[in-house]
Amino acid sequence: MATSTFADRPRKVLVLFDVDGTLSLARQAASPEMIELLQELRKKVVIGFVGGSDLVKISEQLSVTGEPAINMFDYAFAENGLTAFKDGKQLESQSFIKFVGEDRYKVLVNFILHYLADIDIPIKRGTFVEFRNGMINVSPIGRNASIQERIEFEKYDKQHGIRTEFVKVLREKFADYGLTFAIGGQISFDVFPNGWDKTYALRHVQDEGFEEIHFFGDKTYQGGNDYEIFTDERTIGHSVQNPLDTARIIRELFF
């Protein structure tokens, strides 16, 4: 039986959402219509987001009404749930650097930077490796790229497999590190310890007694950062193409 925390919901169901490509276009703000739909959904079920980005970036995308994102959702999972909130209160977090260790991290990041320097792509910007609490994010074009540059890189990447090949090399080179390399969004991929993918967020909800846990995501293919939670036996997975697709399925299932 679900905890009394959510006793006001008619259904003991949890609905979790990826952010980029699911609730909003990549690194863009969610539409007011999406936020309104989510608030209506919250009257019926428990809702949460599970994003790979850090909480600051996710908040920029979801706090479009001025309300903090962690207050608009019952569960807020940034960095795959390694930074987690329930009812606006922070839960236990994890540290990537503690897991890897300083010496091994330096070997990893030095290799990544050398590899990035040798990649020949049409444009490069800045912030190629972003250190986060529970992972690192690697972007061949750089996270400072504009929205239009991101769109162009994504098209180029689909043709030339820049990220796919990069991830393949890292998996082989650092096979003994116990790390997962997951492509997400338009321009980057995440690096985190095995098991610290988006299924990590499920650790925070496993004792709540939910009858169903739904997950919506766009990168649900193998190697995408939604794959593990999408295929997990504890969830009912919904693969979406974009936020409009997400809204359509929400209405079909819950209204």
Residues annotated as catalytic (active site), given as ranges: 18, 20
Beta-ladder partners of 224: 183
Q: Which of 210, 155, 143 is nearest to 3 (CA)?
A: 210
In the sheet that holds 136-138, the strands lie side by side as: 129-131, 136-138, 188-193, 179-184
Q: Which of 165, 195, 202 is nearest to 183 (CA)?
A: 165
Q: Which of 62, 74, 63 is nearest to 11 (CA)?
A: 74
Beta-ladder partners of 75: 48, 86
* Residue 50 vs residues 90, 113, 119, 219, 242: alpha-carbon distances, Å: 14, 28, 31, 13, 16
**Residue 248 CB coordination number (10 Å):** 13
What is the Cα–Cα distance from 1 to 237, expressed in whole angstroms?
22
